[in-house]
Amino acid sequence: MRGNGKAEPIWVAGCMSGTSLDGVDVAMVLTDGVEVFEFGDSHFRPYSEPEQALLRAELGWWSASKKLCEVIETAHAEALSTLKGFDLIGFHGQTLAHDPGHGRTCQAGDGAVLAEVFDVPVVWDFRSADVEMGGQGAPLAPFYHHALARLIGATSPVAFLNMGGVGNLTWVDPRVADPSETGALLAFDTGPANAPVNDLMRERRSMAYDADGALAASGTPDMAAVTQGLEHRYFYKMPPKSLDRNDFHDIINAVSTLTDADAVATLTAFAAACVARAMEHCPTPPSALYVTGGGRHNTTLMTMLAAGVDCPVLPVEAVGLDGDMLEAQAFAFLAMRVKRGLPTSCPATTGVRAAIGGGRVSKPGS
């Protein structure tokens, strides 16, 4: 294991504001950056409708407005203020645009602001160093997934599936002690997950999402549209690979003439089909697929996932984890790794040329 020897575990607060644009998750983890010893308090701070509107207006921008940065930083500060006793913060920021093929990624928000507010160091801008070294800059949770697989006592390969705005899959072999070693991990984005459904629900029904997959369950998927969607060039790329939230316009256009129920059913079926296609890349079949993120609350999606893969599909709560806060916890864990000089990504997770530690560190008063 690289880094500066052993370290005492500390309480770290992690923050995540994902592509679903629903709000800010914050969660505390007691960790040394290698193991997870305890989970602490957590909190969700939703974005208001005006805040969401501003976020949506600047999606795709390569430089955030001052107003948006203030909204993001204020929301994170309010969320973090509900937690007590942390000595370090991991701040993901809000992804506005992501184009690793051209060496660009943009996460809005300044960690230095939070360092001053809370008087503790803040690790932020986790993706840029990876992208600069030829990596995809995403997904970044896999090193945390590796620690979790060992925490739950897995003795054979398992997979974690995050169904947020975009889906991402991590295959983990917990028998390999160092996550940066060859054979420990494979990770990549599967395709669109909740984002197209959420966007359609908002546009057509003024609702944030399809609660429990009820509307999808009442509709009939257009499987021709699903099959056509799987012809997208992304699915012919070998992992590691990553996506931007808005990369799949064709599937959105394909459902434009369908009824609300059939359109949502089709987008839900497409998200599940993307995962089934992704599972074909696993080095060996995982013994279970543990689902995290908002998608695990969608009964219709979970049923479709189970029908498309050859292993048990379970919410991460089945092994004692918190699927609502796992991404925030991941950035707490990664912040501690950055503090210790340990890598946060490697060739098998982002395609970066060599294992690398991302993240800038802002200290109070600096």
- Residue 254 maps to which CATH number? 3.30.420.40
Closest by Cα among 314, 294, 321 to 25:
294
| Most distant pair of Cα atoms in the chain: their distance | 59
* Residue pointed to by tokens 């809000």: 94
Question: By residue range, what is the domain housing residue 220?
Answer: 153-319
**Residue 238 tokens, joined:** 């070998």
Q: Based on the fold, state whether residues 178 and 302 are members of the same structural domain.
A: yes
Q: Based on the fold, state whether residues 179 and 66 are members of the same structural domain.
A: no
Q: Based on the fold, state whether residues 120 and 212 are members of the same structural domain.
A: no
Contact present, 286 and 158 (Cβ < 8 Å): yes
How far apart are the C-alpha atoms of 273 and 229, rounded to whole Å?
Answer: 10
The pTM (predicted TM-score) of the whole model is 0.94
Q: Binding site residues, as ranges?
A: 18-25
Query: Which residues are 14's β-sheet partners?
Result: 27, 90
Q: What is the pLDDT of residue 4?
A: 53
How far apart are the C-alpha atoms of 107 and 95, rounded to whole Å?
Answer: 4
Q: What is the pLDDT of residue 261?
A: 98
Per-residue confidence of the chain (366 residues) as pLDDT tens digits? 345 568 999 999 999 998 778 899 999 999 999 999 999 999 999 999 999 999 999 999 999 999 999 999 999 999 999 999 999 999 999 999 988 888 899 999 999 999 999 999 999 999 999 999 999 998 999 999 999 999 999 999 999 999 988 999 999 999 999 999 999 999 999 999 999 999 999 999 999 999 999 999 999 999 999 999 999 999 999 999 988 777 888 899 999 999 999 999 999 999 999 999 999 999 999 999 999 999 999 999 999 999 999 999 999 999 999 999 999 999 999 999 999 999 999 999 999 999 999 999 999 997
Tell me whether residue 324 is in a domain.
Answer: no
Q: Based on the fold, state whether residues 309 and 183 are members of the same structural domain.
A: yes
CA angle 250, 251, 254 (to 5 degrees): 90
Q: Binding site residues for ATP, as ranges?
A: 18-25
Q: Based on the fold, state whether residues 44 and 66 are members of the same structural domain.
A: yes
Q: Based on the fold, state whether residues 162 and 253 are members of the same structural domain.
A: yes
Tell whether omega for the bond before 364 is within 30 degrees of 0, i.e. cis: no
Within 13 A of 263's CA, how many CA atoms are on the CB side? Answer: 21
* Residue pointed to by tokens 């008063």: 365
Q: Based on the fold, state whether residues 106 and 168 are members of the same structural domain.
A: no
**Residue 94 tokens, joined:** 């809000």
In sequence order, the 6+-apart residues with CB closer than 8 A to the CB of 337 are: 3, 33, 143, 343, 344, 357
How many domains does the structure of the chain reveal?
2
How far apart are the C-alpha atoms of 163 and 311, rounded to whole Å?
Answer: 17
Q: What is the pLDDT of residue 220?
A: 98
Q: What is the pLDDT of residue 21?
A: 85
Q: What is the pLDDT of residue 90?
A: 98
How far apart are the C-alpha atoms of 274 and 30, rounded to whole Å?
Answer: 34
